[in-house]
Copies of this chain bind each other. A is one copy, B any other.
Amino acid sequence: MEPTDDRRAFGDRVRELRREKGFSSQEAFAHHVGLDRTYVSGIETGRRNPTFDIIMKLAHALEVRPAELLDTLD
């Protein structure tokens, strides 16, 4: 799937928060959140279109409020 600007911005935010929370590798974070590593990679590069439920799962795993995942988007 081709990335969009919004999905790229979302992916960048997920990567930023992942690193902030100490998950230096996508592998470790994917294991923690219960998703496949390639899916996490796809989200972070804007090539995946995650559902609301997945966005909630990411927020809970990153221990941030869900709105924080979208706060770089206009």
Contacts and interface: CB of A to CB of B under 8 A. Distances in A.
Interface of A: 4, 6-7, 10, 49-53, 55-56, 59, 65-71, 73-74
Q: How many copies does the complex hold?
A: 2
- Looking at chain A's contact residues, the main secondary structure is helix
Given A49-B51, A50-B51, A66 B70 contact: yes
Nearest to A72: B67
A2 to B, nearest CB: 12
Given A49-B51, A50-B51, A51-B50, A65 B56 contact: no
A61 to B, nearest CB: 14
A51 B51 contact: yes
